[in-house]
Structure 1
Amino acid sequence: MIASSLQIMLWDKEIGRLSWDARRGVSFFEYNPAFLGGRLDPFPLVASVKSPASRRPIMGDRETKLYRKLPPFLADSLPDAWGNQVFECWRIQNGIRNQEITPLEILSFIGKRGMGALEFIPESSGIRKSEKLNMKLLTDLAQRIFLERENVRLLPDESLTMQSLIAVGTSAGGRQPKAIIAINPKTGEIRSGQIAGHKGFDYCILKFGDAEHSSAELEMAYYKMARAAGISMMPCRIIEIEGQTLEDALALGKENGIRKAESIIGEVASAIRQFRHFAEECEVSQRWIGAVEATLNQHLAEWGLLERRKNVAFRIGETLFEKVRVEKTYKGNYHLLCEVDGKEHKFVITGKKEEYALIDRVGTDNLTDEQLYSLVETFFVG
């Protein structure tokens, strides 16, 4: 398999070659002389065709781990966390040692399936144009790879499903499992979105849902918030594959113009305040509605866009508890806070406490005075 050189293609034109120097353990890129005479300048800031340096080999970055010894303008085509998980599973399945893998192998693995305009030839693996995808098998395997990571072991009859997942899933960026697909809105048939020219098919980014975290439903709620905020974007929808929810988006929307910042911020804040409504409409699990809402409200408050109750106070016995409130921490716990005689008191409510589930469900800003009183009585008095 070992790839020592790749053609770098842009819109069916070879812009240059990427090679691997095994002795020095670094890559280098050379422009195609014919491309240098053209009008395109794909990397004007870092490797402009107008620069004298473009006539010489451009070495990979050996210092920055992120670039993996590739020139930075090519390293951006490498897969993100999810694509790397799929690649790692494929590597183990094929008995290839990790030390044998170079960044060129990974780029050849991406081939023509990248999210950007660049293509890498020769490419490894592929999928036939007419091949239909079994989304149930694909979804199950994607979930296993995401959860089990390098410990996943493929069954003999899963090899074809793995090939399909490689074909549609390695180039889609980000951490969560996703794939690029083509779906026929009339028949529901799904094919690889990496093959151009499927007539009657919509091309989508499909995100595999995670039932435990309501990820597909949360994505849909955020989509509705974005639309409510006046952000123009292509349609998103929830699809169900034998009881499992997935979310697909046709494309990323583009703005038609720029309005005043105050107007935009106001609409965004208004949409964020509607999160609970959208989340319930999308059937997000109650445990996540309160948790996400608390974080969103905290942001709004910090931006000065949310009026919070300034001083909730209770007298229990001889003690006056002032500025009673609940805040969520970055670790996921809740802090019950109050002041007694000018001194702040704090109690950490962890996931082991039954009150944690209540706060998660209701949300920190929706706790009633009676509920806050009960929390103070339980943790500061009792």
Structure 2
Amino acid sequence: MELKRVVVTGLGALTPIGNNIEAYWEGLKNGKSGSAPITYYDTEKFKTKFACEIKNYDPNDHFHRKESRKLDRFAQYALISSDEAIVDAKMNLDELDKFRIGVIWGAGIGGLQTFQDEVINFAEGDGTPRFNPFFIPKMIADIAPGHISIKHGFMGPNYTTVSACASSANAMIDALNYIRLGHCDIIVTGGSEAAVTIAGMGGFNAMHALSTRNESPETASRPFDATRDGFVLGEGAGALILEEYEHAKKRGAKIYCEVMGGGMSSDAHHMTAPHPEGIGVERVMINTLNDAGMKPEDVDHINTHGTSTPLGDVAELKAIKAVFGDHSPNININSTKSMTGHLLGAAGAIEAIASILAMQTGVVPPTINHTTVDENIDPSFNLTLNKAQEREVRVAMSNTFGFGGHNACLLFKKIDD
């Protein structure tokens, strides 16, 4: 069976450094930090008092007040970003076969704020289980693609992938394969997360996973830097329209790039820590190259998982060296988490978008906040430090890894025809 070609025809984003694609890209190019003191709750007793929140956001600007009360923030973000992507793709929904349009969405946690609020309200009450009737449908992770499909009438496959921070990358790989196999013409895919909550921050602090650089939150996310002390939690969403190539051409769609392949692997090592030699990461990149039918020397740019954790950054770069060998110094490597923070289940989507826009514009966004060389990192790597770099990017890779050892990777190629 000959596989169908799959292309990207629409993009949408709601991020800590920009509330749409244009603003997000401007923030990335200019090395804008989205990290700032938390505004959602009193942080006095918390070890970490900052995060990458969405700025200038009011749900009532996007939803009727009655509607917004039924939607957790993660679902609001999903609807907003997917709407932007659908408009960007110029999808005439009256002319498309909605039975062949699906929604595959990633979320690592789902409605954490909703869960937290309901449990606290119960605990502070008299023991009577007075729960909001929207508690369960607001909280469950699969509700985001449900709302997207209901709003637009998409009747193809509809579900959520949950693999911690690899969730939206897994969603994109599933979308790629459904279209490749001829089951769908179009899939709305990506991911959203809204875990900047008392429970989210408290839980990650208890794991010692978060940076505690409270005196300088804007510089706290510093991938590859010797002084990094943990990741910065972010929130938001990224959406991509994946479409069968001939279908896109027939309707005259704008094509951003081709999705060449996707790969997955497991570390099978530890609940949260990566294998110190990056064996699972090495394998996921090899699997992705094999799936795409491409060679290591074809790759120009890698947007790393690069969370700014002491173990993770080194392990990932060791894996890149093992896979790409002598070609490694020729690759522009970066971590856009230095600007957006870590969006957990939405990370793969917004970072894939960053890679795609790097191909479109010939600009690789920087890894900001780097001041001190880490002696454990090969100095031959071009980590695109502190300033964006211009170069032609024809093939870009995006890496995403999650707690539990879940590794997912996608490969995108600039399209000529």
Query: What's the TM-score bracket when you normalise by the shorter of the two chains?
Result: under 0.3
Q: Normalization by structure 2: what TM-score?
A: 0.24
Higher RCO by CA contacts (8 Å cutoff, separation 6 or greater): 2
